[in-house]
Amino acid sequence: LQVAIKCADLGHLAASGPVHVRWVRALEEELFLQGDRERAAGLAVSPLMDRGRAGVTRSQLGFFDIVALPLFRSFCARYPAAEPMLAAVRENYALWRAEAARRKAAAAAAADGGGD
């Protein structure tokens, strides 16, 4: 039951790509607003909450590797009828892998073009 509740809590991971990305971006903005409040109060800004650094959109691969995929795999091992949900999570993981590859290619291109 606890695993099912956690899967429900992270349900956007199994939503369609556009819906999932919208949720992640909303979460990132919420965290950045918290970081803005921390900075305004003279506090150290918590990890993933600093607008000047990479936010949760840049940490999705690690989140999927460490939390999401093991969680949903575990749930589906016990409840095989939920396999379509795991397939959707895997599709969103592929989306973030493709995004990371695009960023890496863009950075490499910028580095190569920077000397011209």
Residue with tokens 């999932």: 20
3-class DSSP string for 63-77: HHHHHHHHHHHHHHH
Residue with tokens 């995929």: 69
pLDDT tens-digit map of 3-39 = 999 999 999 999 999 999 999 999 999 999 999 999 9
Question: CB atoms < 10 A from the CB of 49, how many?
Answer: 21
Q: Do the beta carbons of residue 106 and residue 99 sit within 8 Å?
A: no
Closest CA relative to residue 24, chosen from 70, 57, 54: 57
pTM of the shown model: 0.85
First to last CA, the chain: 59
pLDDT tens-digit map of 34-68 = 999 999 999 999 999 999 988 888 899 999 999 99
pLDDT tens-digit map of 63-111 = 999 999 999 999 999 999 999 999 999 999 999 999 999 989 998 999 9
